[in-house]
Amino acid sequence: MPYKVWAVNEILTAADVNTYIGDQVISTFAGTAARESAIGTPVEGQFAFLEDTDTLTYYTGSAWTAFSAGGGASGFENTFLLMGA
């Protein structure tokens, strides 16, 4: 998916939000039940943050899996944009 920089006074369309913003952020959920309720059909590569376990998860195409960048806790909140759900 491409990256986009908006110009001053450029109109932000629904397609822009879905393609450039909605698909490139990480939604946050209280737990797995809230994630499952909100995301009916997850897409391979989709990320979700679970607040109850402080776990970043991603969808493999068949299951949600905990994400691990290796090297211990580094505060991924500084690297990823998290959205409350």
**What pLDDT, in 10s, does the model give residues 25-70?**
888 999 999 999 999 899 888 899 999 999 999 999 999 999 976 5
Rounded CA-CA distance 53/62 in Å is 21
Task: Specify the pLDDT at position 18.
Answer: 78
| 7 found inside a domain | no
Residue, of 77 and 55, whose pLDDT is higher: 55
Q: Would you tell me how many other CB atoms lie within 10 Å of the CB of residue 30? A: 13
Total-model pTM: 0.64
| 5 found inside a domain | no
| 54 found inside a domain | yes
Domain that holds residue 42: 14-67+76-84
CATH number for the domain that contains residue 21? 3.40.1620.70
| 33 found inside a domain | yes
| 35 found inside a domain | yes
Give the number of domains in the chain.
1
